[in-house]
Structure 1
């Protein structure tokens, strides 16, 4: 897998995940500074990996998912970034983000390493999407080749709607 940031190749820590893999466990921080593990989530889930909520591309991605999540049925959407929980809370509040759950990987980089999205050179997460079914099986994976570009929204929506 080749991922670039502004056209330059970057190195990702961890292993690339594929459809059919079990979503690996991770620990991230919720906005109240308490830990959240994969086992704390259930049902069909979409996990977004983004560099920082407070950038134009990430802003648009999270706003788009926030608007669409209701049309996906009984699906939970999480967005992981290296932003501090305080900054995530402020950004989500200022932008009316109430359907997407923001979590921070700043403390342990566990999500990034578990999903193969931690960018060694930047100390940020690469842009990726993982749709996980109720059995923790990954049913859709997209590592966006250029970190500054958007994922395939319609493909993610279709995968989330058809996951069980």
Structure 2
């Protein structure tokens, strides 16, 4: 279990993030058309997994915009924005904000991703949502970088996340 904070109050997450050098765990998440996306679908691409509680919060929305913009300058990189928002809300946000260079994926149906990756919040005001995490993968799904943001109200360290991809 890991500890993060929200507005100064402690929150416990389900477990621990997978470690740098490990192969990322398999996942099945929903795309905006409700089809299933798996980790295997992104084999051969470098992946930034931008994981957050809800697209309808300021910090989460900011991270989507920042990673989308920064990844557009990198070769063979896809940004996966992952939350438990409904796929329709994720797609609305993407269209309303003219976001490109990314794919929105939802863990609302199966709810296994947050447990398998050790980042689901299991208490506090946002219990049941995903904590703010960035995981960067190489073309074969090996983990190059992880960050679980210690204060859910803060943005991730974009520069550190992008370093392994430069």
Partner Cα separation in structure 2 for residue 33 and residue 160 of structure 1: 30
Which residue in 2 is equivalent to 1:160? 165
1:26 CA drift (Å):
1.1
5+ long unaligned stretches in structure 1: none
5+ long unaligned stretches in structure 2: none
**Normalising by structure 2, what TM-score?**
0.92
**Normalising by structure 1, what TM-score?**
0.93
Which residue in 1 is equivalent to 2:97? 95
124, 130, 145: which one aligns with 2:150: 145
113, 124, 134: which one aligns with 1:129: 134
For residues 93-133 of structure 1, the C-alpha deviation after alignment (integer angstroms, 9 at most, x for no partner) is: 10111212110010111221121111122211100000111
Aligned residues of 1:14 and 1:112 also touching (Cα < 8 A):
no
Aligned CA RMSD, in angstroms, stands at: 1.2
- How many residues are paired up? 161
Partner Cα separation in structure 1 for residue 138 and residue 8 of structure 2: 33
Structure 1 segments (4+ residues) deviating >4 Å:
none
